[in-house]
Amino acid sequence: MNREDIVVEIDAEISRLQQVKALLTGTTAIDSRNPARPSGARNARRWTMSAEAREKIAAAQRARWAKSKRAAKKAAREGVAESAAKKAAARLPVKREKKRTLSAGARVKIAAAQRARWAKMRRGKKAVSAKSEGKSSQATKTVPAKKAGPSKAPASSVPTAAAAPATTYS
């Protein structure tokens, strides 16, 4: 027997077993797609609502619709007067909250603190590079950092590449 014949025989046996199961359980194999859930459960209603309950819900919804329609009509009647008031208010200048900004003194303090952090960082890099040069001066190659062109920002607020230490490569 080849492989295809074996597969056909297995499919036929599976079909026969499903038919036997359907006869024993009282369901059809076509109806039960999910074997964990009985086929009758799909068709059964979950719960039944009484006619009185349905009518209560419908009456409540009709009341909500009527209330929203009354509000819309009232707004339409008052809308003529409101639109004139809105147009008049639109002509007046709108008072906005003042935007918060830093004072000049605060900016100077922040800039000085940042320059101090940069200087500390540069000092740390110089110390590290000096230690590595002392250990193996023959193995390291010092490459000077590239100088940047003139900066448009004031020198006090932005460090230039010229102030950066020489970079070492091993």
Least confident of 22-26, 45-49, 98-102, 147-151: 147-151
Number of Cβ within 10 Å of residue 115's Cβ equals: 14
Residue with tokens 């369901």: 27
Q: What is the pTM of this model?
A: 0.24
Strands 141-143 and 167-169: antiparallel
d(Cα 135, Cα 143) in Å, to the nearest integer? 17
d(Cα 86, Cα 80) in Å, to the nearest integer? 10
Share of the chain above pLDDT 90, in %: 33
pLDDT tier at 76 (50, 70, 90 boundaries)?
A: confident
The mean pLDDT value for 48-58 works out to 94
Res 106: pLDDT: 96
Q: What 3-state class would DSSP assign to 143?
A: strand
For 89-145, how does the pLDDT look when each residue is reduced to its tens digit (9 = 90+)? Answer: 677 776 778 888 889 999 999 999 999 999 999 998 887 777 776 665 555 555 556
